[in-house]
Structure 1
Amino acid sequence: MENQKFNFTNMKNIYFEAFKNDQTIIFEISVGRGRFLFMMFFSEDDRESKDKLFIYLRNTKTIIKSKLYGSHKNGDFLIYINNTNREKLINELQLRRGKGDFNFENFLHELNNRIPNSLSINTKIQKFRENRDAIEKLSIIDEENRTILIGERRLPKNKKPKETTLRKLYLYTNGSVENISELIRLLKKANMTIAWTNEKTKNSVSDLREIINRLQ
């Protein structure tokens, strides 16, 4: 069977929404018994993941990575599904043998129809934390071995904070949604980023309010 082409057209709204904010898309769709975590990362720093769609299959704990084609601004999110990935998607559904006919094309349309129109920062943080082990394998965070927060850092005027660094707040802190959102807003406003280390020190920060209070 040739690679199957499909257009996830309903990605358009959340793509534009994310493009203006954190250049990050992450949401989960349930179809039958299958749980499909869709992810896109497309900031200037996301060189490895640019124009790629990641689908984490939560039952089978498998990640599908596929290039996306077409003009996303025009609503085209074209994917070519090979036989291997087709089988992975079907296996995630955990279908019972002999229970009716299965149409793969209809299944793809059902996935597309269930793509949300908007994503809250709350949803994104929740999904990052629920799937940290899988997300850590995608190379979408900066300095992956440094996961202990040590504070804010000023950037040169010709630099701006990397989304690949700020995303680590979702994964490696216990801060509330409100505190993470406020901290990221303040960091961007002040053209600052956050520094991380790979070992506990007396300078490590456990409460995001410490940094927020210094920046306010």
Structure 2
Amino acid sequence: MENQKFNFTNMKNIYFEALKNDQTLIFEISVGRGRFLFMMFFSEEDKESKDKLFIYLRNTKTIIKSKLYGSHKNGDFLIYINNISREKLINELQLRNGKGSFNFENFLNELNSKIPNSLSINKKIQQFRENWDAIKELSLIDEEDKTILIGERRLPQNKKPKETTLRKLYLYTSGSIEDISELIRLLKKANMTVAWTNEKAKKTVSDLREIINRLQ
């Protein structure tokens, strides 16, 4: 069977929402017994990353990686599904033998119909934290060995905070989701980032409100 082409047209709203705001797209869709975690991670340093789609299959614990094609501005998010990916997607559904016919095209349409129109950063952080053990192999953060927060750091005017550095706040701080969201917003507004270390340092931050209060 040739690669099957499908257009995830309902990606348009949340795709451009993520590009404008937090450069992260992560949401889960349930179809029958299947649980499908859709992910896209954008980066100024990697222009191609905005077109890479990852689908983590929660039951079978596998990840499908694919490139999206077409004019996203016009609502085209085309994916080409080969036989291996098709089999993985079907296996995730855990279908029972003899329980009626299965139409793969209808299944893809159902996935598309369940893509949300908008996503809060709070929900994204929650999904990121819950699924980190499964998705950490995707190289989504900088300097993975540095997990101790030192504090904020100002950037030169020609630099912007890297999403791969800011995402570490999701994982390696005990702050509330609301505080992390607010801190990321303030850092971007001030064109600042956060610094990390892998050693015990004299200056560390245990409460994100310390940085938030300084930036407000």
TM-score bucket of the superposed structures, by smaller chain? over 0.9
Q: Partners in 2 of 1:46 and 1:132 — Cα distance? A: 21
CA–CA separation in structure 2 for the residues paired with 1:174 and 1:74: 40
Equivalent position of 2:119 in the other structure: 119
Deviation for aligned residue 1:48: 6.3
RMSD: 1.4
Alpha-carbon shift at residue 149 of structure 1 (Å): 1.4
- Identify the range of structure 1 (3-12 vs 193-202) with the bigger mean alpha-carbon deviation: 193-202
2:75 is matched with 75
Mapping 1:94-173, distance limit 5 Å: 94-173=94-173
* Cα deviation, residue 150, structure 1: 1.4
Q: Offset of 1:32 from its aligned partner?
A: 0.6
* TM-score (norm: length of structure 2): 0.95
Q: Distance in 2 between matches of 1:46 and 1:133?
A: 23
SS in structure 2 of the partner of residue 50 of structure 1: helix
| Cα shift readout 1:23-82 (whole Å, capped 9, x = no counterpart) | 211100000111000001123134563311000001111111001101111111100001
Report if the CA contact (8 A) 2:35-2:92 is conserved: yes
Cα separation, 2, equivalents of 1:71 and 1:173: 38
| Farther-moved stretch of structure 1 (106-115 vs 164-173) | 164-173
Which digits, 9 at most, give the CA deviation of each residue in 1:119-147, with x for residues without a partner? 01111011001101122111122222222
Moved more, 38-47 or 9-18: 38-47
Task: Tell me the matched-pair count.
Answer: 216
AA paired with 1:81? I
> Please, which runs of 5 or more residues in structure 2 have no aligned partner?
none
Tell me which amino acid in the other structure corresponds to 1:153.
R
Q: TM-score, normalised by structure 1?
A: 0.95
In structure 1, list runs of 5 or more residues that go unmatched: none
Match of 1:180 in 2: 180
